[in-house]
Amino acid sequence: MIILGIETSCDETAASICKDGKILSNTISRQLIHTEFGGVVPEIASREHETLLNSVVHATLLESEIELPELDAIAVTQGPGLAGTLLTGISFAKGLGIGLGIPVIPVNHLEGHIFANFLENQFLKFPFVCLLVSGGHTQLWSIKGMERYILLGETRDDAAGEAFDKGARILGLKYPGGPEIEKAALGGDSNKIDFPRSLLSKNSLEFSFSGLKTSLLYFMDDFKETETVKLKDVISSYQKAIVDTLVEKVKRALSITGYNRCVIAGGVAANKCLREQLDMILPTKEIIFPELSFCTDNAAMISYLGELKIKLGKCESLDFSANPNLKLI
Ligand code: KG4
Ligand code: ZN
């Protein structure tokens, strides 16, 4: 079975071909235009998708050496995401699907992130805890099987990715903040500044990052680099405060569920400090991360999950639209 995946939930225009569970191509065009605004401008993102989609799909077909008539179905991100950008991808997918006379399957972006872990690890076993950490979500899930998900906890305010993005803005770094903070923290002393870790009550699996962000804001108000405290120490300490919170909650979730395995999903899964700390703090647990290019938004996860959905007989009609607030359950 050959599936074309299309992903336009935010500012990445992405397309991919999945054939019988294997990714043949994974094409991503990052919209750099948003960097100058310090965040994604929805109207610009939709227009960019419209301009780029044709060539991104063309490039992914070319790389996988697949011709349009060979496609069996198209999988497209339905939500969550920005209404306009989702609509652009869905309209494109529907138009192409009707033209080719093949089904178009709506895919949940969050479920895509979770299943990105199967791309490199097809024998990954259920059940597992999933830490889903993206720009808009920070959630802990108990994943018992396909479509058998239980929410264990989520953030009360900012997502972890947002803590990186907003922190980066306070620190004078570019958007997206995660990779910028990671780079700028290199060589810094992460123990220099004791930023707050909001762990809430003893067994809580909820998160809160807004206090940490405010504390960075106040700290930077009168910060001047000295011989003993460099800016990279501040950045490294801030990154460590986010990571420590995530690691502690994963530890709690594994202990509460009794599972041995945790899968990390979403853009923040690309963070090296998070990867290292999880491995260090939980050496007896199986901690699984997607390959770096499958952490942040991509269409490989969409085409792969689309194929799984078809195999489960989930071929719906074209009667679906974008759902910016789509939930996992
Ligand atoms: O999953 P994703 O690409 O898009 C959403 O679905 O939101 O996640 C984007 C988020 C951004 O907040 C970005 O700053 C963060 O993931 N991110 C990172 C890293 N790479 C991306 N955060 C920390 N370290 C990274 N290396
Ligand atoms: Zn995402």
272 Cα nearest atom in ligand 1 = 26
- Ramachandran angles phi, psi of 213, nearest 5°: -60, -45
Ligand 2 midpoint to CA 142 (Å)? 19
DSSP states of 9-69: SSSEEEEEEEETTEEEEEEEEE-GGGGGGTS--HHHHHHHHHHHHHHHHHHHHHHHT--GG
Pocket, ligand 1, Cβ cutoff 6 A: 10, 134-136, 161, 164-165, 176-179, 182, 266-268, 270-271, 296-297
Specify the residue with its C-alpha closest to ligand 1, atom 6. Answer: 134
Of 66, 56, 128, 67, whose CA–CA distance to 93 is shortest? 56
User: What domains does the chain contain, in order, with CATH numbers?
Assistant: 2-114+295-311 (3.30.420.40), 124-289 (3.30.420.40)
Question: Among 140, 77, 152, which Cα is nearest to 309's?
Answer: 77
216 burial via Cβ count (<10 Å: 0-12, 13-18, 19+): buried
pTM: 0.97
The single residue listed with the structure tokens 């989609």 is: 53
Tokens standing for residue 210: 């807004």
Closest-lying ligand 1 atom to the alpha carbon of residue 266: 1
User: What's the confidence (pLDDT) of residue 186?
Assistant: 98
Q: What are the angstrom distances between the C-alpha of 205 and each of 133, 209, 244, 253? A: 14, 13, 14, 7
CA atoms within 13 A on the CB side of 241: 26
Percentage of residues in the chain having pLDDT higher than 70: 100
Distance 202 CA to ligand 2 centre (A): 30
Give residue 36's pLDDT: 86
Listed as ranges, residues in the chain with pLDDT below 50 are: none
Q: Which residue has the tokens 């395995």?
A: 261
- Whole-number Å distance, alpha carbon 226 to ligand 2 midpoint, is 38
Report the pLDDT value the prediction gives residue 213, as an integer from 0 to 100: 97
Pocket test of ligand 1: the residue of 240, 296, 297, 325 to mutate, having most ligand atoms within 8 Å of its CB, is 296
Angle 218-184-272 (CA atoms, 0-180°, nearest 5)?
Answer: 110
> What's the pLDDT at 199?
87
pLDDT score for 316: 73
C-alpha of residue 181 to centroid of ligand 2, in Å: 19
The residue ranges of DSSP E strands in the chain, in sequence order, are 2-7, 12-19, 22-30, 73-79, 104-108, 128-133, 138-145, 148-154, 261-265, 286-288
